[in-house]
Amino acid sequence: MHLNFQTRYLLYMLAVHAVLVGLVFQLLKEHKILFIASEVFIILSLYVAIRLYRTFQQPSAFIASGIEAIREKDFTIKFVPTGNEEVDELIQVYNLMIDQLRHERTRQAEQQFFLNKLIDASPIALLIFDFDERVSALNPKARQLLKVSDYDLLAKPLSATGHPLLTQLGALPPDQPHTIKLAGVETYRAMRGKFIDRGFERQFLFIEELTAEIVETEKKAYGKVIRMMAHEVNNSIGAVNSILTIAEPEISDADIRQAVRVAIERNDRLNLFMRRFADVVRLPVPSPVRSDVAELVQNVVRLMQPQAQKRGVSLSAVAPDRPVYAPIDVGQLEQVLVNVIKNALEACQPGQVVKLRLTDQQVQIRNNGQPISASVAADLFNPFFSTKADGQGIGLTLTREILLNHGFPFSLRTDSDGWTVFQISWNRLLPVA
């Protein structure tokens, strides 16, 4: 059994004095006076040894109490001076150390509290990783932006989350801002950073959504250009057509008269062309009302059925037998469905299929026609972008504006099975009557 220093010292002193008592008894048992004096001396020596023992024990007791307080992280315990110079010096050093530890702990707790509040209030999504690059924490903005729960992210590497944005950010190099555009118009800027925790490196990930800023900047840019172009073209065409219309009956030469008629018709088409561009800029704010999306889908399919039959493409819709209510501007959403179905039909060859599938929260327009290449996917919803030789890119631009104004998430992609899917979702469902 291991004995501490104080116990060994006490046992030693007791043994020494016991031996002295025995020796004195053997040597001085015939001399009563000397025997009694020796016994008194031994008792006084034992008393002094005990006092010294207590003096030695006092710093050890303070040290043990201090160690226990530090082990329990209790920095409120302080000792008062005892009057012993050596012990008081030790107490003074201990109290000073406890004051510094308490101050540092308080300052660290305040800084941690401020950091947590700052992270929670940050308008930028933040994910923090552990030492094995698994997600260990995320702030409220990350939950809102990624639309996921803690269960879907925590203790997982980004590659295992299954999230379309996070899986692309799994191999993002540190300290290099990167911009990512998903299948819809969602655009994000992300950057990995590093920090040191307990001597080891950990990482965090900032994600900032740029969609609203980019869309607003684009609208301001092309809106100004379109308004200027429309003003100049309409003014010029109106004046030129007025002159040509007046002059046409007066022209005796049939060939020249025919040429003037062609010029008038061409000017009308140019005027219509500019009006279509201007429609994107003049798109009114939607007026959502509680409407049956199922009925709207069936009506649009009936409207587009002749075009599908003309192309030899099968057009059908699968919808619930009951109404599906959602807050929509019927006229604008109808225009969206017409544009999307028209593009799907144009991507198909005779014998191929366009299917609409409606659920309580989304509508999908699927086709097995020409797939969308990876090089084109990121630019599909750029203003006036088109892959057609004679395309103007107005249809998808108008579709984008309507859906953004409604606040409906949307995407266009070709899945691994070869089917191209345009998906429109809504999360503001109204209760069914």
For residues 218 and 270, membership in a common domain is answered with yes
Whole-number Cα distances in Å, 328 to 221, 334, 336, 430: 28, 10, 12, 10
Listed in sequence order, the residues at least 6 apart from 355 whose beta carbon sits closer than 8 Å to its beta carbon are 316, 317, 318, 364, 365, 366, 367
Highest mean pLDDT among 41-55, 297-311, 396-410: 297-311
361-379 pLDDT, tens per residue? 999 999 999 888 877 776 6
pLDDT score recorded for residue 184: 65
* Rounded Cα distance, 376 and 260, in Å: 41
For residues 191 and 243, membership in a common domain is answered with no
Q: Is residue 117 situated within a structural domain?
A: no
pLDDT score recorded for residue 278: 67
Q: What number of CA atoms fall less than 13 Å from residue 170's CA on the CB side? A: 15
Q: Is residue 431 situated within a structural domain?
A: no
**pLDDT class of 429 with cuts at 50, 70, 90:** very low
Higher pLDDT, 8 or 371: 371
**pLDDT class of 431 with cuts at 50, 70, 90:** very low
Domain boundary among 209, 233, 265: 209
Domain boundary among 181, 209, 237: 209
pLDDT score recorded for residue 317: 93
pLDDT over threshold 80, residue 346: yes
Q: What dihedral do alpha carbons 170, 174, 176, 182 form, nearest 10°?
A: 10
For residues 168 and 185, membership in a common domain is answered with yes
pLDDT over threshold 50, residue 430: no
Higher pLDDT, 138 or 248: 138
For residues 135 and 39, membership in a common domain is answered with no
For residues 380 and 338, membership in a common domain is answered with yes
For residues 333 and 410, membership in a common domain is answered with yes
Highest mean pLDDT among 160-164, 340-344, 396-400: 340-344
Domain carrying residue 248: 213-281
| Type of residue at 388 | K
Q: Is residue 409 situated within a structural domain?
A: yes
Average pLDDT, the chain: 80
118-174 pLDDT, tens per residue? 888 888 889 989 988 899 889 988 888 888 888 888 888 888 888 888 888 887 888
Helices (H), 248-323: 254-281, 293-311
Domain boundary among 209, 232, 264: 209
Output phi, psi for 357, to 5 deg.
-130, 120
Mean pLDDT computed over 335-343: 90
pLDDT score recorded for residue 161: 83
pLDDT score recorded for residue 232: 67
How many percent of the chain have pLDDT more than 90?
Answer: 15
For residues 20 and 88, membership in a common domain is answered with yes
The total of structural domains in the chain comes to 4
Q: Is residue 367 situated within a structural domain?
A: yes
Mean pLDDT computed over 328-355: 91
Higher pLDDT, 305 or 31: 305
Highest mean pLDDT among 183-192, 274-283, 306-315: 306-315
**pLDDT class of 297 with cuts at 50, 70, 90:** very high
For residues 142 and 162, membership in a common domain is answered with yes
Q: What number of CA atoms fall less than 13 Å from residue 42's CA on the CB side? A: 19
For residues 271 and 312, membership in a common domain is answered with no
Higher pLDDT, 101 or 430: 101
**pLDDT class of 421 with cuts at 50, 70, 90:** very high
Mean pLDDT computed over 389-410: 78
Listed in sequence order, the residues at least 6 apart from 89 whose beta carbon sits closer than 8 Å to its beta carbon are none
Q: Is residue 308 situated within a structural domain?
A: yes
pLDDT over threshold 80, residue 348: yes
For residues 103 and 137, membership in a common domain is answered with no
Q: Is residue 248 situated within a structural domain?
A: yes
pLDDT score recorded for residue 69: 74
For residues 66 and 186, membership in a common domain is answered with no
pLDDT score recorded for residue 248: 78
Highest mean pLDDT among 80-94, 285-299, 382-396, 419-433: 285-299
pLDDT score recorded for residue 388: 67
Report the relative pairing of strands 325-328 and 353-358 from DSSP bridges: unpaired
The answer to whether residues 125 and 142 touch, using CB atoms and an 8 Å cutoff, is yes
Mean pLDDT computed over 258-277: 75
Q: What is the DSSP letter of 322?
A: S
Higher pLDDT, 229 or 422: 422
Task: Kindly report the three-state secondary structure assignment for every residue of 365-396.
Answer: EEECCCCCCHHHHCCCCCCCCCCCCCCCCHHH
Q: Is residue 430 situated within a structural domain?
A: no
pLDDT over threshold 80, residue 356: yes
For residues 155 and 172, membership in a common domain is answered with yes
- Range 401-405 contact pairs with CB under 8 angstroms and sequence separation of 24 or more: 401/219, 401/280, 401/283, 402/283, 402/286, 402/329, 402/332, 402/333, 402/335, 402/336, 403/336, 404/185, 404/215, 405/283, 405/285, 405/286, 405/332
Q: Is residue 114 situated within a structural domain?
A: no
